[in-house]
Each structure stands twice: as structure tokens, then as C-alpha cells.
């Protein structure tokens, strides 16, 4: 099979997966009470919906819509097709999901009441404000993981069951087995105790003057900027940074290298904690694939023809064991883009994971929850395809067999 045939075939296989995922989400969204669903689909401001009017007491029984006098309710029900057959509703849901119309932030939910700037904004807009910070954080953590895990994994495969193997296994597993919230809090405590309550610029986390309050209290500065009272013009209050929403990139674009460096510096400790927590999984894959390659015939041949051991490991075995590693790294990057709800909450970072963490607080924001799920699903599916194609490129047996 040629490469492009493989790609096309892989893309066709995508269709049933997308349809299936949408169906699962559609079943779940159908179980949401209708008033809440209307709120998250249309946004309270836009439909003039007030939960205190009798409509909120409507049951989910649509055949008798009750004594609802709110015209927006009936219009919402009609627009969603809730009085139509289920396949029509499913179609509407599919269309909306595929065209990125994921509804609005409900302004009676926890997010809506806590962050008035976010209330009644489209979910896609909100996610696009907070995703860039998470992407930067994910890239940084992935960099740390790659730098540590590939050499360490190869070493522990070569020196199997020796002290270096056992030691790296214990270290990486202990990071994996510690709850992230506990590890993060302890690290934060240690950092604060170590450097003391210094100025904002010297502080290494996004926390403010007192240890456990957020950096300058609240949003709007998605990302983590030094809390001076006057923001630069490109960072005006009420907006996320301009123009790309990537905090570091934006600062660099506007020539404010101080802020760029500071933002990056504050990401380092959370990224280290993330890397420590996830390195065990990657390390295990690197080690095992290296072990398998080391048993193969071509390695024996390389040794037999008298190559020095270092060259055998680096040139022959190391390169060939990288296929699996690339796959795992790609998939974990997609997983990382799902945000780090716990780490971002502990360290006070404003990423997409933290928004998700807020949206599951008790007046749930269904729009944001389902929107994040759609976003992360798209990311995972997309990453799967990319990784498969890269793997097929690296290992011709996949596309030939």
C-alpha cells in the first residue's frame, strides 16, 4: 500500500468514530434537564431566560410543556428540535458539534457567576482564550519528559535489573503513585518556604503575596503575568493577551522580553511536577521497546561484526526503538492538551484545565463541560491520526501489512 492510500484509508475510518462519539455525547446531553440545556445552548442573556420564572419547574416531559409563558423557552425547544423525533435532534446535535457551535457559558453556573467576563460568551471563544496557556505548559512538560525519559529508559534497558534500572523505576513510579494534588501542594509549600514571600517578579509560581491566594486575585489575565497595577496596552484588563493568546509569544511579539521570561519562569515548577507525575509511563514504554529491540537479530549482527557497544546502542538499537516512543509521546501530548485541572488549580494557572475544574462545580456549566469534551475528543482523534501516519512512515510494515 502506498503512503497516501494508507492516509486516505485512515481518514475514512475516522467517520464512524466521529459519529459514534457524537452519539454517546448526544445520549448524555439528552439526559440534561431541558432548562439547563437551553441555558447552555443559547446563553441566558441571549434568550432572556430567567430560572425564577415558572419555566424552570418544567418537567422533562415534553409532551406536556406545562404553563410556560416564556416565549424564549418554546423557541429554544423548537430550535433544538426537542419536540421533533430523536433522529432530528441527533442531526441537529451533530451539525452543531461539527460546526463548532458548542453553546454559551451559562451565567447562572459557577463559572458564570464567578467570572462575569465569561458569562454568556460562546464556549469556543472561552476555550480559545484558555487553551494557549495549556499548550505552552504541555510543550514545556513534554520537553522535560523527552529530555529525561529517553536517555534514562535506554540506560535502564541496557542495565536491566541493575541498580540504575531499579532506581529509575522506583523514582518514576513514586512520582506516578503520589496524588498530583498532594505533590503539587507540597512542592508549592516548599518553594514558598524556600524563597520566602519575595516580590512578584521573583516569585516562581503564579501565587500572589499571600501564599495560597491567586496571583492578583482573579482572571482576566489568562496566563500568569506580574501583577502590576497598570498592564501594558496589549494586555488591557478584560481581555486575554493579544494577538495570538499565547502569553509568552504575545509578550515576545510586543517586545516585552521581561514579561515573556517571567511567564516562562513561572511555568517551570508546574511543568516539573507534571513531568515527574507522568514520566513513569513514558519511561516504561521506552525501556520495553528498547529491550525488545536489543533482542533482535540485527543488534546481534552489529555486535558480531565488532562495533563498539556504545555505537550499537546509540546507532542501531536506539534509533529503532524510537518508533514506539514517538507514538506514545504523541498520544500523551494530546492527552496533555486536555489540560491539567489539578496542577493548574494547585498552582493557580489559567489554563483550559482549570476552566474545566470550575465548570464541574455545583451549578454545573453543561455547555463548558460538553464543549471541553468535544474539544479534547477532537484533539485526541486528530493526534491519533497524526501519530498513526508518522508511525506508518517510520515503520513500513504497518502500511504494507
Chain contacts with another protein (rule: CB under 8 A): 13, 16-17, 20-21, 24-25, 28-29, 31-33, 166, 169-170, 173-174, 176-182, 185, 189, 192-193, 196, 210-213, 280, 291-292, 295, 335, 338, 341-342, 345, 356-357, 360-362, 364, 366, 369-370, 372-373, 376-377, 380-381, 384
The grid cell for 164 is: 540504575
Of 78 and 174, nearer to another protein (C-beta) is 174
CB of 326 to another protein, least distance (A): 19
> What's the closest the beta carbon of residue 66 comes to another protein, in angstroms?
18
Q: How far is the CB of 32 from another protein (least distance, A)?
A: 6
CB of 19 to another protein, least distance (A): 8
Question: Which CB, 31 or 229, lies closer to another protein?
Answer: 31
Least distance between another protein and beta carbon 357 (Å)? 5
Q: Which is nearer to another protein, 185 or 323 (CB)?
A: 185
Nearer to another protein, 137 or 369 (CB): 369
Q: In whole angstroms, give the CA distance from residue 295 to residue 321.
A: 11
Nearest approach, Cβ of 13 to another protein (angstroms)?
Answer: 8
Shortest Å distance, C-beta 348 to another protein: 11
Closest of 209, 357, 203, 173 to residue 267, by C-alpha:
203
Distance between CA 113 and CA 35 in Å, rounded?
17
Query: Which of residues 112 and 247 has its CB atom nearest to another protein in the complex?
Result: 112
Cell readout for 29 is: 446531553
Cα–Cα dist 183/387, whole Å: 31
DSSP assignments along 251-305, one per residue: HHHTT-HHHHHHHHHHHHHHHHHHHHHHHHHHHHHHHHHHHHHHTSHHHHHHHHT
Closer to another protein by CB, 100 or 234: give it: 100
Nearest alpha carbon to residue 303 among 286, 317, 319: 317
Residues contacting 154, CB < 8 A, separation 6+: 286, 287, 290, 313, 317, 318, 321
In the complex with another protein, the residue whose CB is nearer, 77 or 283, is 283
How many H-runs (helices) and E-runs (strands) does the chain carry? 19, 0
- The answer to whether 157 and 291 are in contact (CB under 8 A) is yes
Amino acid at each position: 500500500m502506498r503512503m497516501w492510500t494508507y492516509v486516505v484509508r485512515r481518514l475514512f475510518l475516522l467517520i464512524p468514530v466521529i459519529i459514534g462519539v457524537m452519539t454517546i455525547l448526544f445520549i448524555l446531553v439528552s439526559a440534561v434537564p431541558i432548562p439547563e440545556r437551553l441555558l447552555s445552548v443559547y446563553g441566558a442573556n441571549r434568550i432572556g431566560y430567567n430560572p425564577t420564572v415558572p419555566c424552570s419547574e418544567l418537567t422533562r416531559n415534553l409532551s406536556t410543556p406545562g404553563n410556560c409563558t416564556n416565549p424564549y423557552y418554546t423557541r429554544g425547544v423548537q430550535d433544538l428540535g426537542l419536540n421533533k423525533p430523536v433522529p432530528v435532534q441527533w442531526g441537529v446535535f451533530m451539525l452543531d458539534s461539527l460546526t463548532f457551535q458548542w453553546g454559551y457559558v451559562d451565567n447562572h453556573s459557577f463559572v458564570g457567576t464567578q467570572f462575569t467576563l465569561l458569562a454568556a460568551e460562546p464556549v469556543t471563544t472561552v476555550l480559545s482564550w484558555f487553551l494557549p496557556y495549556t499548550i505552552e505548559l504541555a510543550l514545556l512538560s513534554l520537553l522535560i519528559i523527552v529530555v529525561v525519559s529517553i536517555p534514562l529508559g535506554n540506560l535502564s534497558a541496557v542495565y536491566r535489573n541493575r541498580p540504575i534500572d531499579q532506581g529509575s523505576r522506583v523514582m518514576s513510579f513514586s512520582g506516578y503513585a503520589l496524588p498530583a494534588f498532594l505533590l503539587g501542594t507540597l512542592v508549592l509549600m516548599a518553594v514558598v518556604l524556600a524563597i520566602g514571600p519575595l516580590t512578584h517578579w521573583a516569585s516562581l509560581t503564579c501565587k500572589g503575596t499571600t501564599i495560597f491566594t491567586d496571583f492578583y486575585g482573579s482572571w482576566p489575565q489568562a496566563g500568569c503575568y506580574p501583577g502590576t497595577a497598570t498592564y501594558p496596552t496589549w494586555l488591557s484588563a478584560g481581555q486575554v493577551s493579544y494577538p495570538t493568546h499565547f502569553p509568552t509569544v504575545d509578550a515576545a511579539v510586543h517586545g516585552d522580553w521581561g514579561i515573556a521570561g517571567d511567564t516562562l519562569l513561572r511555568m517551570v515548577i508546574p511543568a516539573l511536577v507534571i513531568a515527574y507525575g507522568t514520566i513513569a509511563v513514558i519511561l516504561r514504554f521506552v525501556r520495553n521497546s528498547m529491550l525488545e529491540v536489543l533482542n533482535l537479530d540485527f543488534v546481534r549482527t552489529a555486535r558480531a561484526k565488532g562495533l563498539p557497544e556504545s555505537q550499537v546502542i546509540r546507532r542501531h538499537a536506539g534509533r529503532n526503538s524510537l518508533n514506539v516512543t514517538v507514538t506514545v509521546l504523541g498520544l500523551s501530548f494530546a492527552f496533555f492538551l486536555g489540560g491539567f485541572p489539578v496542577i493548574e488549580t494547585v498552582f493557580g494557572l489559567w489554563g483550559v484545565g482549570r476552566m474545566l475544574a470550575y465548570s464541574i462545580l455545583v451549578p454545573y456549566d453543561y455547555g463548558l463541560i460538553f464543549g471541553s469534551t468535544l474539544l479534547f475528543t477532537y484533539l485526541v482523534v486528530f493526534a491519533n491520526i497524526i501519530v498513526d501516519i508518522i508511525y506508518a512512515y517510520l515503520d513500513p510494515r504497518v502500511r504494507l501489512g
